[in-house]
Amino acid sequence: MSMNKSRQLVIERAAENVRDECNVTDYGFQNIFEAAEKVGYRVIRYPIGAESFLGFALIKDTERIIFSNSSQILSREVFSVAHEMGHQRLHLSEQGKTMIRDDDFNDRDEDEIEANYFAACLLMPTDKILKFIRLELNDKNIKIWNGLDIARIQTTFNVSYDMTLVRLKALGILDNTSLDNLKLEKIEKTAAALLNAIKGNSDLCKSSEAKKIPAEYLEWVISNYYDKLISRKSLETALGFVDLKADDFADPSEELNEDKSFDDLLRGMD
Ligand SMILES: [Zn+2]
């Protein structure tokens, strides 16, 4: 990790502030999408395909927008939104960078490492993990942990099996040997089966394909079309997201013609 200690603490505090603003008293977020809206971000979710990009953070006029690709499995989409919240809090500003798009989260760029760290601190704060291990797993010896223990942590914090392992390793809770065993166990049983076994949230292992587009976004697209700032093709694409047709909206060039003939008519009356 190339972040220095003071930067790390800045990021931990930023993540803690978001949890406070959302009044999270549980271990994990029940709904990260609602939480992001609660702290002022406009969240757009759309299934743009598993092979497409993961998400972006954007400042558009006075709006701060987070887009997430809901073709990802849900636990990964949760991470994406947390990661984009990190970009919003740490890297974007009206005066500086206003857009960051993520094709993957393995980029070693400084901003990407920081956004990943923010997401880890937001979704799985150290104190909450230690509390969970102590009170819910009865301080069970790490050496005898199995996949079900990881699945319990995963379902409580609403994150992926892999992220749980990465976070526990980064915090020094898991050593290399236990990490390898638990990885192996996941390959053998799959996280979904583990979650079913504990009646956990197996939806975390599927993509939601959610389509959530704010009304303001559509108004913005339509007004831009009327102002001729975007093409009809772009309008069709944007409306297609919500199963609307461009034909439902009058063509501005036709409106202009009407105005012109109206002018002619007025002139003719002189
Ligand atoms: Zn990023």
Residues with CB under 5 A from ligand 1 (ion): 102, 112, 115
| C-beta contacts of 141-147 below 8 A and 24+ residues apart | 142/173, 142/174, 142/175, 142/178, 143/178, 145/178, 145/182, 146/182, 146/185, 147/182, 147/185, 147/186, 147/189, 147/194
Residue 146 C-alpha to ligand 1 middle, in angstroms? 32
Q: Cα(115) to centroid of ligand 1, in Å?
A: 6
Rounded to the nearest angstrom, the distance between the alpha carbon of 107 and the centre of ligand 1 is 8
What is the Å distance from ligand 1's center to 151 Cα? 26
The domain spanning residue 10 has which CATH number?
Answer: 1.10.10
Q: Cα–Cα distance between 52 and 96 in angstroms, integer? A: 27
Residue 165 falls inside a structural domain: yes
Answer yes or no: do 25 and 86 share one domain. yes
Residue 231: inside a domain, yes or no? Answer: yes
Find the 86 Cα to ligand 1 centroid distance in Å. 8
229 occurs within a structural domain: yes
| Torsion angles phi and psi, residue 44, rounded to 5 | -120, 125
Give the per-residue pLDDT at 258.
45
CA of 94 to the centre of ligand 1 (A): 18
Which of 67, 99, 123 is the C-terminal boundary of a domain?
A: 123
The answer to whether residues 113 and 148 belong to one domain is no
102 alpha carbon to ligand 1 midpoint, in Å?
A: 5
Residues 97 and 16 in one domain: yes
Q: How far is ligand 1, taken at its centre, from the CA of residue 191, in Å?
A: 25
* Residue 167 dihedral angles phi and psi, to the nearest 5°: -65, -45
**Domain range for 67:** 5-123
Last residue of a domain, one of 74, 103, 123: 123
| Nearest of 118, 189, 119, 106 to residue 150 by alpha carbon | 189
Does residue 14 fall inside a structural domain? yes
- Whether residue 237 is contained in a domain is answered as yes
* 264 contact partners, CB below 8 Å, separation of at least 6: none
116 and 33, same structural domain?
Answer: yes
Q: Is residue 31 a part of any domain in this protein? A: yes
Which ranges in 106-204 belong to alpha helices (H)?
A: 110-123, 126-135, 147-157, 161-170, 176-189, 191-197
Q: Give the number of domains in the chain.
A: 3
Residues 94, 131: one domain?
Answer: no
* Single residue among 107, 123, 139 that ends a domain in this structure: 123
Position 210 in a domain: no
Ligand 1 centre distance from Cα of residue 134 (Å): 33
Residue 30 falls inside a structural domain = yes
Statement to judge: residues 164 and 115 lie in one domain: no
Q: 92: CA distance to ligand 1 center in Å?
A: 11
CA of 234 to the centre of ligand 1 (A): 25
Same domain, 117 and 36: yes
Domain co-membership, 111 together with 18: yes
What token pair was written down for 236?
């069709």
Q: Are strands 99-102 and 55-60 parallel, antiparallel or unpaired?
A: antiparallel
My answer on whether 100 and 130 are in the same domain is no
pLDDT by residue, tens only, the chain of 270 residues:
568 999 999 999 999 999 999 999 999 999 999 999 999 999 999 888 888 899 999 998 889 999 999 999 999 999 999 999 999 999 999 999 999 999 988 878 999 999 999 999 999 999 999 999 999 999 999 989 988 899 899 999 999 999 999 999 999 999 999 999 998 888 877 878 888 878 888 888 888 888 777 766 777 777 777 777 777 877 777 777 666 677 766 655 554 444 444 445 445 444
Residues 119 and 180 placed together within one structural domain of the fold: no
Determine the pLDDT at residue 2. Answer: 67
Q: How far is the CA of 254 from the centre of ligand 1 (A)?
A: 42
Same domain? 39 vs 101: yes
Long-range contacts formed by 192-195: CB under 8 A, 24+ apart: 194/147, 194/148, 194/150, 194/151, 194/161, 195/151, 195/154, 195/155
Based on the fold, state whether residues 256 and 181 are members of the same structural domain: no
